[in-house]
C-alpha cells in the first residue's frame, strides 16, 4: 500500500509542479478542466463499458450503490447536526457550513478511489468504484448535495428537474448502461473495439491522479478550527459507516473491503466546483480538499490494515 501511495504521491506532486511553474505556459486550472472534460466524456465512459462488459455482474450492482447511498445520507445528517450545534456556540457563516457538510459527506471515490481499489484488489475491483460513485454518489451529489449547497449558498436554487436532467446526461452513467446492455445481450464486440476501449480506459487512472495535483493549493482560511469535525467525519467515521452498512447488507471479500476503502477517501474535488457554483466559501472548500488529501496518505494505510482484520 505504501508503494501505491508513494506512486500516486509522485504523480500528484507532478501536478503540483505543473501548477506552480506553469510549465509550457499553461494555466493549471485550464489544463485541469481540459483533462477533466476529456476523462469524464471519453476516457471514463470507455473504462465503464470495458469493465462492465468484461466482468461478472451480480447482486453487488445493487448492494454497493445501496451502501454508498445509506452512507452518504447518514454522514450528511450527522454533519448537519454537528455544525448546527457548533454554530450555536461559535460563529460560522452559512457559506462555510455548506462547504464543511459537503466536504465531510462526499469523497473522492473515483479520482482517487478507483486507482486505489484497482491497485489493491485488481482490475475487476474497478467496478466497485464505478458502482459506488456513478450509481449512488454522483446522483446523490446532484439531487441532495446540490439542494444542500443552494440552501447554504447565495446562488439561485437548483430545481430538482435540473438535477435530474444533469444526471440523465452524464456520459459515464450512459456508458454503464451500455455495458450492461452489451453484457446481458451477449453481443460480441470486435477485437479492435475492445482494444480501443482498453487503451482509452487505461488513461483514466494517471490522468485522474495528475488532476488532483493540479487542483491542490494552500489557501488561507479564517476558521481553520471549524474543519476538525468535518475531517474526523470524512476520514474516520464515514469509512466505519460504509463498512457497517456493507456488512449489514451482506457484502463480503473485496466488495466489502472496497466499500470501507471508498468511505475512507478524502474530500471530493468536485466539491470545489459546487462551492463556486452555489457561492459557498471557495477558500474553505480548497482547504478541505488539501487537508483531507494530505491526511489520507496516513489514514488510507490504516484503512487497508483494518480491511485485513475485519474482512474475511
Q: Is residue 268 classed as helix, strand or coil in its secondary structure?
A: coil
> C-alpha distances in angstroms, 113 versus 11, 160, 182, 283?
15, 28, 26, 24
- Residues contacting residue 105 through CB under 8 Å, at least 6 positions apart: 72, 75, 76, 79, 145, 233, 234, 238
- Res 208: pLDDT: 80
The 8-class DSSP code of residue 57 comes to -
Nearest-angstrom CA–CA distance, 53 and 71: 28
**266: pLDDT confidence band, cut at 50, 70 and 90?**
very high
Q: Which candidate, 137, 312, 149, 147, places its Cα nearest to that of 238?
A: 137
pLDDT at 184: 85
Residue 249, pLDDT above cutoff 80: yes
At 202 the pLDDT is: 87
- pLDDT score of 221 more than 80: no
Question: What is the pLDDT at residue 12?
Answer: 86
Domains and CATH numbers, the chain: 2-8+28-310 (1.20.1530.20)
pLDDT digits (tens, 9 = 90+) for 24-49: 888 888 888 888 889 889 999 999 89
Mean pLDDT of 156-171: 80
For the ranges 175-184, 213-222, 234-243, 259-268, which has the lowest average pLDDT? 213-222
Residue 219: pLDDT band with limits 50, 70, 90: low
pLDDT at 170 over 70: yes
In the chain, % of residues over pLDDT 90: 41
pLDDT of residue 220: 62
* Residue that wins the pLDDT comparison between 154 and 121: 121
Average pLDDT (110-133) is: 89
Query: Using CA atoms, how far apart are residues 26 and 143, in angstroms rounded to an integer?
Result: 34
Query: Contacts by 198-203 with C-beta closer than 8 Å and gap 24+?
Result: 198/50, 200/42, 200/43, 200/46, 200/47, 201/43, 201/44, 201/46, 201/47, 201/50, 201/51, 203/39, 203/43
pLDDT at 252: 93
Secondary structure tally for the chain: helices H, strands E: 18, 0
Structure confidence at residue 92 (pLDDT)? 86
Query: What number is the average pLDDT over the span 7-34?
Result: 86
pTM: 0.85
Q: What is the mean pLDDT of the segment spanning 147-169?
A: 81
User: Which residues does 202 contact at the CB level (< 8 Å), separation at least 6?
Assistant: none
pLDDT of residue 2: 66
To which residue does cell 474475511 refer? 312
Most confident of 96-105, 112-121, 151-160, 173-182: 96-105
Mean pLDDT within 240-250: 97
54-75 pLDDT per residue, tens: 877 788 989 999 999 999 999 9
Q: 107 has which bridge partners?
A: 267
Q: Dihedral, CA atoms, 55, 59, 62, 67, nearest 10 degrees?
A: -100
DSSP code of 159?
A: P
Amino acid at each position: 500500500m505504501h508503494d501505491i501511495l508513494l506512486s500516486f504521491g509522485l504523480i500528484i506532486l507532478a501536478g503540483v509542479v505543473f501548477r506552480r511553474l506553469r510549465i509550457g505556459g499553461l494555466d493549471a486550472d485550464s489544463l485541469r478542466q481540459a483533462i477533466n472534460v476529456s476523462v469524464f466524456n471519453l476516457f471514463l465512459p470507455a473504462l465503464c463499458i470495458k469493465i462492465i462488459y468484461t466482468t461478472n455482474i451480480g447482486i453487488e450492482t445493487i448492494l454497493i450503490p445501496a451502501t454508498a447511498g445509506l452512507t452518504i445520507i447518514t454522514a450528511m445528517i450527522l454533519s448537519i447536526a454537528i455544525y448546527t450545534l457548533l454554530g450555536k456556540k461559535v460563529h460560522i457563516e452559512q457559506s462555510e457550513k455548506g462547504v464543511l457538510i459537503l466536504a465531510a459527506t462526499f469523497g473522492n471515490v473515483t479520482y482517487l478511489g478507483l486507482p486505489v481499489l484497482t491497485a489493491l484488489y485488481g482490475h475487476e475491483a474497478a467496478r466497485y468504484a464505478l458502482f459506488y460513485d456513478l450509481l449512488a454518489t454522483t446522483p446523490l451529489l446532484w439531487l441532495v448535495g446540490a439542494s444542500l449547497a443552494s440552501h447554504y449558498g447565495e446562488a439561485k436554487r437548483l430545481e430538482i428537474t435540473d438535477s435530474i436532467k444533469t444526471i440523465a446526461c452524464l456520459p459515464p452513467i450512459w456508458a454503464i448502461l451500455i455495458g450492461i446492455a452489451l453484457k446481458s445481450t451477449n453481443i460480441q464486440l470486435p477485437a479492435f473495439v475492445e482494444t480501443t476501449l482498453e487503451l482509452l480506459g487505461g488513461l483514466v487512472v494517471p490522468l485522474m491522479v495528475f488532476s488532483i495535483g493540479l487542483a491542490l493549493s494552500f489557501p488561507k482560511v479564517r476558521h481553520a478550527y471549524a474543519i476538525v469535525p468535518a475531517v474526523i467525519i470524512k476520514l474516520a467515521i464515514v469509512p466505519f459507516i460504509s463498512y457497517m452498512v456493507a456488512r449489514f447488507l451482506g457484502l463480503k471479500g473485496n466488495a466489502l473491503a472496497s466499500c470501507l476503502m471508498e468511505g475512507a477517501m478524502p474530500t471530493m474535488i468536485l466539491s470545489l466546483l459546487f462551492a463556486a457554483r452555489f457561492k459557498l466559501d471557495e477558500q474553505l472548500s480548497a482547504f478541505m480538499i488539501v487537508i483531507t488529501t494530505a491526511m489520507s496518505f496516513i489514514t488510507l494505510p490504516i484503512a487497508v490494515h483494518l480491511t485485513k482484520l475485519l474482512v474475511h
